Amino acid sequence: MTGPKPRPEIFSVHSYVGGESKLPGHNRVVKLSSNEGAFGPPPAAIAALAETGLDIHRYPDGGMAALRDAIGRTYALDPAQIVCGNGSDDLLQLLIQAYGGAGTELIMSAHGFSIYEIAGKLAGCIVRKAPERNLTTDVDAILALITPATRMIFIANPNNPTGTMISNAEMRRLREQAPPDVLLVIDAAYAEYVDQPDYDGGISLVGAGNNTVMTRTFSKIYGLGGVRLGWAYAPPAIVDVLNRMRGPFNVSATAAAAGIAALGDQNWIANGRAHNSRARTMLAARLAATGLKIHPSAANFLLVDFLTPERAITADQFLRARGIIVRHVRSYGLPSCLRITIGTAEECDLIAETLKEFQDISQPALTDG
Ligand SMILES: *Cc1c(COP(=O)(O)O)cnc(C)c1O
């Protein structure tokens, strides 16, 4: 049979698999598989969604002026240097299409976010993965992979699924030592959860030159994953490129309205951050007390190491049987780990108690000395 043939790169990737949300036999599930903020969006965002329904026959403003103004006010940025997207994935893909392509190389971290690899291969790039140190981005390892064909470096900071991050100083060192014509993309999807006082998500590096971009999302602390909304802060020449490439109406009117309303409730965001820091510390301690290995996390999830792939699978099944969905991260090269989103206090309690039960029945009794 002959038929239309897509470009061969298409078959070099598998389609992205998101966190599951349903379990057969369970009417209610506790979904801790996609790092959606524990409390959902601010109430004003839900009200704004209902209101835009009345105007839904109108096209949105393709330039997203009102949303860019609101982002600019919230984060003290020039709205002219902001581009909005249908989720930050949209912008990551556009950047790769613009600056990558056949014959170019893209560098990411060994356990970096999978979208970079998928979008990179689809664009025909060679994707190179730099080894990590303690499951943390290693700037020297990234620098060592740079060749004349390198066009882009993608770093999620903090990274998903490891939860680890590098300091502003390390990120600056990477920028300074990488060639100036290599685009550095800092994916700061978890920026609002970071406690480190000097962390700025990459804003100062974007402002300092013409070759660094920061991407952000409304899918995590803002609780708006379902509407699809993200943004990039970029130097003017890259803003121009993204505006030429993006779909003319790549952000829906409903997403924009919800985003503007959500930005207006920074108390909600501050509460979400404070809850996350407390709950993350507590959950990490409770899980560690059962003998599990917990990696330090700066984001709204924990990477929990069960030491063998078999135990991770058994734990995943144990949780599912009790209506709890987390994320097995074998596709990230971490087959002995589960990634668990920090939910509400009740959800954290439930996961702590359930995994304690799992540890009690599945672990050989610990002996002293
Ligand atoms: C969740 C996540 C995103 C967000 O993607 P959206 O398309 O904005 O929903 C981006 N990068 C990383 C590392 C993430 O974990």
Task: Provide the CB-side half-sphere exposure for 134 (13 A, CA).
Answer: 8
pLDDT category, 369, cuts 50, 70, 90? Answer: very low
Nearest CA, atom 3, ligand 1: 189
Block residue for tokens 């912008």:
91
Atom of ligand 1 nearest to the CA of 156: 13
Domain 51-264 in CATH 3.40.640.10? The answer is yes
pLDDT category, 357, cuts 50, 70, 90? Answer: very high
Q: What pLDDT, on the 0 to 100 scale, is given for residue 118?
A: 96
**Burial zone of 61 (CB within 10 Å; 0-12 exposed, 13-18 middle, 19+ buried):** middle
Atom of ligand 1 nearest to the CA of 299: 15
Q: How far is the CA of 12 from the centre of ligand 1 (A)?
A: 22
Q: How far is the CA of 369 from the centre of ligand 1 (A)?
A: 45
- Return the number of other C-beta atoms located less than 10 Å from residue 286's C-beta: 18
Q: Which tens digits make up the pLDDT trace of 213-269?
A: 999 999 999 999 999 999 999 999 999 999 999 999 999 999 999 999 999 999 999
List residues near ligand 1 (CB under 6 A). 35, 87-89, 113, 156, 160, 187, 189, 217, 219-220, 225, 230
Q: How far is the CA of 18 from the centre of ligand 1 (A)?
A: 11
Among 93, 217, 220, 227, residue to substitute to test ligand 1 (most atoms within 8 Å of Cβ): 217
Q: Which tens digits make up the pLDDT trace of 46-86?
A: 999 999 888 889 999 999 999 999 999 999 999 999 999 99
Q: How far is the CA of 88 from the centre of ligand 1 (A)?
A: 6
User: Quick check: 298 and 196 in contact, CB under 8 A?
Assistant: yes
Atom of ligand 1 nearest to the CA of 218: 8
User: Where in the chain are the domains?
Assistant: 8-31+267-361, 51-264
Q: Which tens digits make up the pLDDT trace of 33-57?
A: 999 999 999 999 999 999 988 888 9
3-state helix, strand, coil in the chain (%, to 5): 40, 15, 45
**Burial zone of 88 (CB within 10 Å; 0-12 exposed, 13-18 middle, 19+ buried):** buried
Domain 8-31+267-361 in CATH 3.90.1150.10? The answer is yes
